[in-house]
Amino acid sequence: MPQQTQSSKVWFITGGARGIGLSLARQALANGDGVIATSRTLSSLRQALGEDRARLLALEVDLGSEASVQAAIEKTIATFGRIDCVVNNAGYGQQGTIEALTDAELRRNFEVNVFAPLRVLRHALPHLRQQRSGHLFNVASIVGFQGSYAGWGSYVGSKFALAGLTETLAAEVAELGIKATVVYPGPVRTGFLSKDSLVVAERSIADYTEAQASLDLHLDGLDGQQAGDPEKLATLILQAASVAEPPVHLFAGKIANTLAEQKMQTVRQDLDAWRGASDATDFTD
């Protein structure tokens, strides 16, 4: 394990009432860290984490509202004096073929999965920049690296966007002593395939049989059978936050690692096969 940094941290976690966010909040509290857990409803946080106490602040936050996010960050600073780790974990899956998805369905998915994390970052970064320290975690998915899944274009696109933004973010904040990591979990045994986290497009097109088969598999065969353990994934994030040189790309689980390797091999094959034709598109002196 690389060199450890300070052990006591303050965590700001979106989607803290269930799944990965809840596991991370509980483990951080058990480690003696401060935790700000946010969710759409305060009642869900109270049920999951109990009442506020010295190291826990539960906040009902509308991630679609600039004012709500700003107020949450300000309350965090007023309570704890700093933020060390920001975890953009909230999000949901949108199923539907690209032809069938409506503009409204696409925009809502990107609003939650992309623009909400950006909103959190905008209001958290001034404090981390002043501290000249901090670690930003954006929880994507392995589909944000390997996107070959019929019927999941909106979700894939939103997670690719979050991954790309994190790469740029890491380059921007490095000189300020701030780290940024995109987390790529494989299938995790959370409520992701429940009605609260998976939305199916209103329209389906019969010709797209692969997309329907993928949806049926996820709803009938995978729910509750996912290989990933949210507790172990939370531990992995805590480990990444504890080292002096954390990864920009953090893959989680054997499935994620295998799919990432397959993607890199496929890209290498395409690159090699078309190298000559590609190189020929440059101006020649």
Which one from 92, 149, 155, 208 is the annotated catalytic residue?
155
The verdict on whether 155 is a catalytic residue reads yes
Residue 160: which residues within 8 A CB-CB, separation 6 or more?
140, 144, 145, 147
Residue 272 — left, alpha, or beta (φ > 0 → left; ψ -120 to 50 → alpha)? alpha
Residue indicated by tokens 């941290």: 9
> From residue 163, how far is each of 49, 114, 187, 275 by CA, in Å?
29, 10, 17, 26
How far is the C-alpha of 59 from the C-alpha of 71, rounded, in Å? 10
Terminal Cα-to-Cα distance of the chain (whole angstroms): 50
How far is the C-alpha of 116 from the C-alpha of 108, rounded, in Å? 11
Catalytic center residues: 155
